[in-house]
């Protein structure tokens, strides 16, 4: 029976349950500049910054008590905490909630915006404390007195607002009710035309640290024999917080040493809107927080990243009945076969030879025809392309013929060395792009495990999503193969194009400057594509760029593009014309959309982004030069955009 | 739970038995269907003296004057509203509230009023004990490029709740959310934004079926670019022109045992009658504990339909 369950269906950690987090978590510490133990024990706040989909949420969630309690199969969670010596609480308010609270302005001047956010934040974390205490009470009925705990917890409210409650369930309900009251109030205000309804929570307006730090100060954990336990507060999506909301967290960060509640904050690059606290002081790197970057593993540890993706895939495949005996490399294939792809494109045609001859004849004012270059005819069109490129570069017929023959006969010579170097190390992939262009082939193929890892640009969420789309497509179009544990290169390619198109469409809807970012990415992508299509292959496989000094608004756009992982900054700068410049790469998931390489080659990067790249339909004259002389810009098969 | 029997009538040439109302609210645009209900009410001699006309552009005021031939017996209030759907609607609501203070039966033509705005108007009227009659004129067709492309929500999108419907934030344990997603033509980016911004634990797609036109049901699915079945989602259906069917489907979903563990969000991005159904559900059945979400766009393109189909009158 065909019982297909997509092993990659849940690709976003944000909406994973605790069980799924536990099941799918693979240790990422090989790429991080921090160990698990440091995350637990560091007394400073830690800022975990990384692009969308890099695994921050997954990492933070797996520290939370909701996940940790699932690990403690044999012992109680209470015992587990006693041993671990930490209690992790994960906190994230969705964008709508944050936005809603940010625009929550009360007329009473003392209740400014951050007071309301503080109120919700304190109550939300306090709710988590109560939930944890509920677990402990369930497990350790004989050791812990519910009445005592509830009394201690209630003591954190001011006496005027203290509810008359004696059991933990009722206390939890009270706190939930108070959290919901804020939103009920907002709801009522929407139709309160005469401004009659006042904000009057039963628990009073909670002040900074009253509940979160108050819990520690009251030594409640000490009273249940967990005195050595540290509270780790994982706050996710910090970049979505408003400036005023960030000030609340910064204030907490400033004083976290004194409170024993240690902050671990997840955010995208450039996520700080302010470093100020509510008292207008500044939190300082090194003193109040330690920044840890989720560096892109593909950029500096490609082999490790491939191993990581393999492990993730293995873990997911092995959790399904249908695929548990299969390996991702067997399913997708290890890597692409460029020779086969080239043969598929050419299908015994001669247009690539004609295209080169046209160029050679024009350049050297001669009249070579196909018969005169019959010596370079080969089954492998890429071999033919190398020969033709050598001729175009000015090498003699004799040189090319010898290079080819020596290469085929495995004879070592200067000529064969040059030939092998060009073929194996430089131009093989580039020529496939050129062939696609000459033969007006709509799709360059992207398939194989390695290509998939490369397309994901070191962003593990992208890899999982790409696999998800591929498996879904295969379940429709290649069911028989899929049952056998195979997905064809055509289906994999189609999936890559689907995801690439989706990501392009998505840019437009990004809440921060989506439309402007879309223009920028289109201009960059088009420039790379033009370079990929050049018959002379001046700059093979270019997908890196540097930048000049930009207008402040365009610098801001570039930062936003980095934050949304549309582009990725290489960790090391590069010396360009004696100047050290930052180097960026276009997220490779856009490669299919522009039919460009998903590999990154070093060397000279001709694309230098200036302010013009942020204008609609800009064509960089440095890239789109010699339009008349450029076969492929005249005959390009790909439509822009 | 109290159940009521709701009624909806098709208003056409042979049956224009419109209900009596004391105030009529509608939004004027160049769309053919913008004034169909007005014509029906006039034909039926049930057009009240109090009329509130919302409009987007200054140029429209002259057309509105021409439309009503400067009839001195009518008390017409023209209120200019913004194209920006995320703009605070309260000032406009205050103006509407002033005009309907002493009025019991209000007729609201939702045909051209953007969803977030009419939902807020209904919220106000409902909570101020007004008897509400809603009207909706179906289009003959929508403007679709290349068979299926539809864009009325352009540019940057921000998924936020509609003012007045923030829902409940937490329940016990992990605050998991069930999102009922009324799928429409604009799903391409909305689905991704739902996953990233709202992070629901479960999504139940609700598609309009029967649709205004047979292919529309499938265009909604195609434009959502998502194989719900492959991810184990069951799709629910509600009649595209029947808010009460949407109401019933939502009730059915929320009454299922598993739903009791969730906070409920409803994403409104389908037909206006379905949005009306969601609004009614949030108001009447959940003590406002449901969050109504809408994809607020950077730009709103209102004129997306051609011709006029059936005209409906709903007694809310």
What is the tens place of the pLDDT at every residue in B187-232?
667 777 787 778 788 888 898 888 777 777 777 777 676 655 555 5
What proportions of chain B, in percent to the nearest 5, are helix, strand and coil?
Answer: 30, 30, 40
Q: Which residues on A lie below 8 Å from B227 (Cβ)? A: 472, 476
Report the alpha-carbon distance of residue A426 to residue A421 in Å, rounded: 7
Quote the pLDDT of residue B147.
55
Task: Pinpoint the alpha helices (H) of A231-296.
Answer: 243-254, 256-259
Same domain, B164 and B131: no
Spell out which residues of chain A touch residue B231, defining contact as CB-CB under 8 Å.
6, 9
Collapsing DSSP to helix, strand or coil, B315 comes out as: strand
How many residues are given for chain B? 316
- Determine, yes or no, domain membership for B113: yes
- Helix residue ranges, H only, A439-546: 449-455, 460-477, 479-483, 489-509, 514-532
* 3-state secondary structure at position A315: helix
Is B2 a domain residue? Answer: no
Do B20 and B122 lie in a common domain?
yes
Neighboring chain B residues of A17 at a CB cutoff of 8 Å: 174, 176, 201
Is there a single domain that holds both residue B43 and residue B89?
Answer: yes
Which of B127, B157, B289 has its CB closest to that of A191?
B127
Beta carbons of A183 and B169 less than 8 Å apart: yes
How far apart are the CA of B74 and the nearest CA of chain A, in angstroms? Answer: 26
The CATH number linked to B202 is: 3.40.50
Q: Are B160 and B243 found together in one domain?
A: yes
Order of strands, sheet of A608-609, starting from the edge strand that comes earlier in the sequence: A567-569, A584-586, A544-547, A608-609
Interface mutation vs chain A, best among B99, B130, B152, B156, most A CBs within 10 Å: B156
The answer to whether the CB atoms of B164 and A99 lie below 8 A apart is: no
CB contact under 8 A, B156 and A12: no
- The ipTM estimated for the assembled molecules is 0.82
**Does some domain include residue B1?**
no
Task: Report, as ranges of residue numbers, the positions in chain A whose pLDDT lies below 50.
Answer: 109, 627-641
Kindly state whether residues B53 and B119 are assigned to the same domain. yes
Show residues of chain A in contact with B197, CB under 8 Å. 94-96
Q: How far is CA A34 from CA A27, A211, A224, B138, B301, in A?
A: 12, 30, 31, 60, 49
Same domain, B282 and B166: yes
Put simply, whether A181 touches B (Cβ < 8 Å) is no
- How far does the CA of residue B171 sit from the closest CA of chain A (Å)? 7
Q: pLDDT tens-digit profile of A192-232? A: 888 888 888 999 888 878 999 999 888 889 889 998 899 99
User: 92-131 in A: which are within 8 Å (CB) of B?
Assistant: 92, 94-97, 99-100, 120, 124, 127, 131
Question: What letters, b where the CB count within 10 A reaches 16 and e where it falls short, cover A66-78?
Answer: bbbbeebeeeebb
Whether the Cβ atoms of residue A150 and residue A165 lie closer than 8 Å to each other: yes
The confidence score (pLDDT) of residue B188 equals 67
User: Which residues of chain A are within 8 Å of residue B288 when distances are taken between CB atoms?
Assistant: 184, 187
In angstroms, what CA-CA distances link A419 with A338, A404, A434? 17, 7, 18
A96 with B159: Cβ contact below 8 A: yes
pLDDT at B201: 80
Same-domain check for residues B60 and B178: no
Torsion of CA A353, A355, A361, A363, to 10 degrees: -120
Asked if A176 reaches chain B (Cβ–Cβ under 8 Å), the answer is yes
pLDDT at A628: 42
* Confidence at B4, pLDDT banded by 50, 70, 90: low
The answer to whether A183 faces chain B, any CB pair under 8 Å, is yes
Given 3-state DSSP classes, what are the helix, strand and coil percentages for chain A, each rounded to the nearest 5? Answer: 55, 10, 40
Chain B residues with beta carbon closer than 8 angstroms to that of A475: 230
Cα-based torsion angle of the residue sequence B221, B222, B227, B233 in order, rounded to the nearest 10 degrees: 0
This model's pTM is above 0.90: no
In chain B, where do the E strands start and end? 7-11, 23-28, 50-55, 75-80, 105-109, 131-137, 141-142, 153-166, 177-182, 202-208, 236-238, 263-268, 291-300, 305-306, 311-315
Nearest to B131 by CA among B270, B21, B227: B21
Q: How near does any CA of chain A get to the CA of B184, in Å?
A: 16
Residue pair A133/A153 in contact (Cβ under 8 Å)? The answer is yes
**Do B19 and B95 belong together in one domain?**
yes
Task: Say if the Cβ atoms of B90 and A131 lie within 8 Å.
Answer: no
Residue B137: strand pairing partners: B311
Q: Please count the other Cβ atoms lying within 10 Å of the Cβ belonging to residue A128.
A: 22
Q: Please tell me which residue of chain B has the smallest CA distance to A510.
A: B156
CB atoms within 10 A of CB B55: 20
Distance from the Cα of B29 to chain A's closest Cα (Å) equals: 26
Residue A424 CA to its chain's centroid (Å): 31
Q: Do the strands B50-55 and B23-28 form a parallel or antiparallel pair, or are they unpaired?
A: parallel
- CB B205, CB B187: distance < 8 Å: no
With a cut of 60, say whether residue B148 has pLDDT above it: no
Asked if A235 and A252 count as a contact pair (C-beta separation under 8 A), the reply is: no
B11 and B136 part of one domain: yes
Q: Rounded to an integer, what distance in angstroms lies between the CA atom of residue A24 and that of residue A13?
A: 9
Cis amide bond preceding A207, omega within 30: no
A4–B230 CB contact, under 8 Å: yes
Give percent of chain B with pLDDT exceeding 70: 84
Domain assignment of residue B48, given as a range? 7-141+306-315
A176/B193 Cβ within 8 A: no
**Cα–Cα dist A477/A474, whole Å:** 5
Contact A56, A236 (CB under 8 A): yes
Find chain A residues with C-beta within 8 A of B160's C-beta.
95-96, 99-100
Q: Do B93 and A187 touch (CB under 8 A)?
A: no
Split into its structural domains, chain B has a count of: 2
Same structural domain, B109 and B132? yes
Q: Is B147 contained in some domain?
A: no
* Residue B188 sits in the same domain as residue B90: no
Same domain, B167 and B133: no
Q: Which residues in chain B are contacts of A513 at CB distance < 8 A?
A: 156
């Amino acid at each position: 029976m065909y019982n297909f369950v997509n092993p990659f269906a849940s690709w976003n950690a944000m909406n994973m349950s605790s069980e799924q987090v536990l099941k799918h978590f693979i240790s990422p510490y090989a790429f991080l500049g921090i160990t698990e133990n440091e995350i637990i024990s560091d007394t400073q706040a830690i800022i975990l910054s990384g692009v969308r989909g890099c695994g921050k949420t997954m990492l933070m969630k797996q520290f939370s008590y909701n996940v940790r309690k699932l690990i403690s199969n044999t012992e109680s969670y209470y015992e587990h905490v006693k041993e671990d010596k930490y209690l992790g609480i994960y906190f994230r308010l969705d964008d709508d909630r944050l936005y809603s609270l940010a625009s929550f302005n009360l007329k009473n001047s003392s209740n400014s915006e951050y007071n309301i956010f503080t109120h919700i934040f304190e109550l939300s974390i306090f709710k988590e404390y109560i939930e944890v205490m509920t677990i402990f009470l369930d497990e350790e009925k004989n050791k812990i007195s519910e009445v005592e705990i509830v009394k201690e917890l209630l003591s954190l409210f001011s006496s005027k607002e203290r509810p008359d409650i004696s059991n933990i369930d009722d206390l939890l309900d009270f706190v939930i009710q108070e959290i919901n009251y804020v939103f009920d109030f907002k709801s009522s205000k929407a139709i309160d035309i005469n401004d009659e309804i006042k904000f009057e929570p039963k628990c009073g307006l909670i002040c900074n640290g009253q509940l979160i730090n108050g819990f520690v100060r009251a030594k409640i954990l000490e009273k249940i024999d967990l005195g050595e336990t540290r509270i780790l507060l994982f706050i996710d999506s910090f970049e979505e917080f408003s400036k005023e909301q960030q000030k609340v967290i910064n204030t907490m960060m400033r004083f976290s040493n004194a409170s024993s509640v240690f902050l671990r904050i997840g955010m995208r690059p450039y996520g700080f809107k302010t470093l100020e606290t509510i008292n207008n002081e500044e939190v300082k790197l090194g003193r109040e927080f330690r920044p840890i970057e989720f560096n892109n593993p593909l950029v500096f540890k490609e082999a490790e990243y491939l191993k990581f993706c393999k492990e993730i895939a293995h873990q997911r495949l092995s959790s399904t009945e249908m695929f548990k005996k299969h390996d991702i490399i067997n399913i997708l294939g290890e890597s692409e076969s460029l020779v086969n792809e080239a043969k598929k494109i050419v299908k015994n045609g001669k247009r690539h030879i004609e295209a080169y001859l046209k160029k050679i004849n024009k350049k050297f004012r001669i009249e070579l025809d196909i018969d005169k270059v019959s010596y370079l005819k080969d089954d492998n069109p890429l071999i033919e392309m190398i020969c033709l490129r050598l001729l175009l570069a000015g090498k003699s017929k004799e040189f090319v013929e010898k290079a080819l023959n020596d290469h085929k006969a495995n004879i070592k010579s200067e000529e064969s060395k040059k030939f092998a170097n060009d073929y194996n190390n430089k131009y093989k992939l580039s020529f496939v792009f050129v062939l696609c262009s000459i033969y007006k082939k709509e799709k360059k193929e992207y398939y194989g495990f390695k290509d998939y890892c490369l397309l994901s640009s070191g962003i593990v969420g992208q890899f999982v999503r790409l696999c998800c789309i591929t498996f879904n497509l295969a379940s429709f179009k290649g069911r028989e193969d899929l049952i056998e544990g195979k997905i064809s290169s055509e289906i994999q390619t189609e999936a890559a194009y689907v995801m690439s198109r989706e990501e392009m469409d998505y840019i437009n809807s990004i809440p921060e400057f989506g439309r402007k970012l879309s223009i920028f990415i289109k201009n960059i992508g088009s420039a790379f594509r033009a370079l990929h299509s050049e018959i002379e292959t001046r700059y093979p496989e270019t997908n890196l760029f540097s930048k000049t000094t930009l207008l402040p608004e365009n610098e801001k756009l570039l930062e936003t593009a980095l934050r949304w992982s549309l582009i990725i900054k290489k960790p090391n700068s590069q010396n360009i014309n004696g100047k050290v410049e930052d180097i960026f790469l276009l997220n490779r998931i856009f490669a299919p959309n522009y039919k460009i390489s998903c590999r990154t080659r070093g060397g000279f990067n001709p694309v230098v982004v200036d302010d013009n790249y942020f204008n609609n339909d800009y064509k960089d004259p440095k890239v789109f030069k010699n339009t008349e002389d450029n076969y492929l810009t005249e005959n390009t098969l790909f439509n822009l955009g | 739970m109290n159940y009521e029997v709701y009624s909806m009538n098709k208003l056409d040439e042979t049956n224009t038995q419109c209900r009596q109302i004391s105030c009529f609210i509608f939004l004027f645009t160049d769309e053919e269907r913008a004034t169909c209900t007005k014509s029906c009410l006039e034909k039926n001699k049930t057009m009240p003296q109090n009329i509130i006309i919302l409009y987007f552009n200054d140029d429209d005021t002259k057309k509105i004057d021409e439309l009503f031939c400067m009839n001195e017996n009518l008390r017409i209030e023209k209120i200019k509203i913004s194209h920006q759907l995320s703009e605070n609607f309260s000032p406009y609501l205050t103006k509407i509230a002033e005009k309907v203070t002493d009025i019991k039966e209000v007729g609201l033509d939702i045909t051209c009023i953007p969803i977030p705005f009419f939902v807020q108007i209904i919220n106000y009227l409902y909570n101020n004990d007004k008897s509400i009659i809603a009207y909706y004129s179906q289009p003959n067709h929508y403007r679709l490029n290349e068979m299926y492309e539809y864009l009325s929500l352009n540019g940057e999108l921000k998924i936020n709740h509609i003012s007045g419907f923030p829902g409940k934030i937490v329940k016990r344990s992990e605050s998991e959310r069930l999102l009922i997603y009324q799928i429409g033509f604009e799903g391409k980016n909305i689905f991704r934004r739902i996953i990233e911004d709202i992070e629901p634990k479960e999504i139940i797609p609700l598609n309009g079926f029967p649709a205004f036109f047979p292919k529309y049901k499938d265009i909604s699915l195609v434009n959502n670019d998502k194989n719900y079945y492959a991810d184990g989602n069951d799709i629910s259906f509600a009649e595209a022109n029947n808010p009460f069917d949407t109401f019933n489907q939502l009730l059915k979903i929320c009454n299922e045992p598993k739903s009791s563990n969730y906070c409920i969000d409803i994403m409104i991005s389908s037909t206006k009658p379905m949005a009306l159904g969601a609004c009614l559900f949030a108001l009447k059945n959940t003590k406002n504990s449901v969050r109504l979400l809408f994809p607020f766009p950077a730009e709103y393109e209102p004129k997306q339909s051609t011709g006029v189909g059936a005209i409906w009158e709903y007694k809310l």
